[in-house]
Amino acid sequence: MAGFVKGFNSTISTILYGDIMKILLDFDGTLTNIEQEYEFECRYITSELKREFGLDEETINALFDVAKAHIVDNASDHGWCDNDRISAYCDEDLFMTVASTMSLLDKWLADNDERADVLQKHGVAGATPMMDLTQRAHVAINAEPLSAFNTPEPVVVKAIHELLERDCEVVVVSNSPAERIIDKFEFVGLKPVDHLDNPSARFRIRGHAKKFCLGDNPLPVEFGSRCVDIDRPYYADILRKERPQVVVGDVFSLDLALPIEMARREPMVYEDMQMYLRTRSYTPQWAIDCALNPPADAPVTVRLLNHFTDLPMLIHKR
């Protein structure tokens, strides 16, 4: 009987998916809730500014509020930059908001802008002192012990178990090192492998994906109210080699813009891709609008994934 049930389930899986369905997942923000890590980063930066330069918390908060208000009001001009171009906008996730705010403070320091006077008076100096501090905060976050606040959420664990039980291939593509991501999955009882160790494994991690890395040939594409540069050679190489049926991410510029445009430019190759924007409390409205209104000639389905537990059900609908 057990053999019959297993065979029956396999048949059902084939009916639902045809060949094994490959799902490409982002990690931070998609499978984890980064709000607590964001709070940790803000506390770390504040603590270091107090310790190193003697700034008081009220002054720091006031300074950050002014800088953050500026980037929010001019969001299309600020973001996470690579190769001197915006790779993702400042309002797409919390870490990018911090990085963009600190980058603006560095610019104000370099320009002797009066809004950075309080930093100069306290001896803050260097080429990029605030971004250097942000990088140290990221390193500190990665050194934190594993716990519920920096590992996949329980609803994610449940959904991935379900996808694997249905013979899906799950590939997590992250800018972080694969070993760190594997440790986080093992903490919650899942056992992926490093892609470099077994590129045919059904549950694997592709680390150091460099989705943020922009090449030397800008390819700006209009998506709604924003222009996104899709010249991302490392991410494009991954997409070409993996040929996923499903792509899930929480940052439109990093995760979805390139595969949408690849499907538009090469419909015969990528027309079967389904895409999901994993929404969070910080997801900007323009990204939601882009997800719901992809280019008319892009033969892909883009949906909002408000609850990760919905994913196994949604991908049945081909």
Residue that is written with structure tokens 């899986």 in the block: 13
Q: What are the C-alpha distances in Å from 190 to residues 73, 165, 186, 239, 248? A: 42, 13, 5, 24, 19
**Which ranges of the chain would DSSP assign to H, the alpha helix?**
2-17, 35-53, 57-73, 94-110, 117-121, 129-143, 154-165, 178-187, 233-242, 257-265, 267-270, 285-292, 311-314
Q: What is this structure's pTM?
A: 0.91
User: How many whole angstroms separate alpha carbon 69 and alpha carbon 85?
Assistant: 21
Which pLDDT score, from 0 to 100, does residue 297 have?
78
- Report, as an integer, the average pLDDT of 276-280: 97
In the prediction, which pLDDT does 317 show? 52
Per-residue pLDDT tens over the stretch 56-78: 999 999 999 999 999 999 999 99
Q: Measure the CA–CA gap between 308 and 158, rounded to whole angstroms.
A: 9
Bigger pLDDT: 255 or 18? 255
**202-221: average pLDDT:** 97
Residue type, 174: S
Predicted local distance difference test score (pLDDT) of residue 25: 98
**Placement of tokens 């929010």 in the chain:** 72
- Whole-number average pLDDT of the chain: 91
The pLDDT tens digits of the residues spanning 33-51 come to 999 999 999 999 999 999 9
pLDDT band per the 50, 70, 90 thresholds, residue 278: very high
Q: What is the pLDDT of residues 165-210, one digit of tens each?
A: 999 999 999 999 999 999 999 999 999 999 999 999 999 999 999 9
Residue whose tokens read 């760190």 = 180
Q: Count CB atoms within 10 A of the CB of residue 175.
A: 18
Residue partners of 214: CB distance under 8 A and separation at least 6: 82, 83, 85, 87, 229, 231, 232
Q: Quote the CA–CA distance of 163 and 159 in Å, as a whole number.
A: 6
Q: How confident is the model at residue 295 (pLDDT cuts 50, 70, 90)?
A: confident
How does residue 316 score in pLDDT terms, banded at 50, 70 and 90? low
Say yes or no to pLDDT of 7 above 50: no
pLDDT score of 10 = 37
Rounded CA separation 110/107 (Å) = 5
Distance CA 39, CA 43 (A): 6
Residue 149 has pLDDT above 90, yes or no: no
Instruction: Give yes or no for residue 214 having a pLDDT over 80.
Output: yes
Per-residue confidence (pLDDT) for residue 171, from 0 to 100: 98
Query: What's the pLDDT score for residue 155?
Result: 96
Banded pLDDT at 14 (limits 50, 70, 90): very low
How much is the average pLDDT of 5-15? 37
State the pLDDT confidence band at 100, using cuts at 50, 70 and 90.
very high
Q: What was the pLDDT predicted at 271?
A: 81
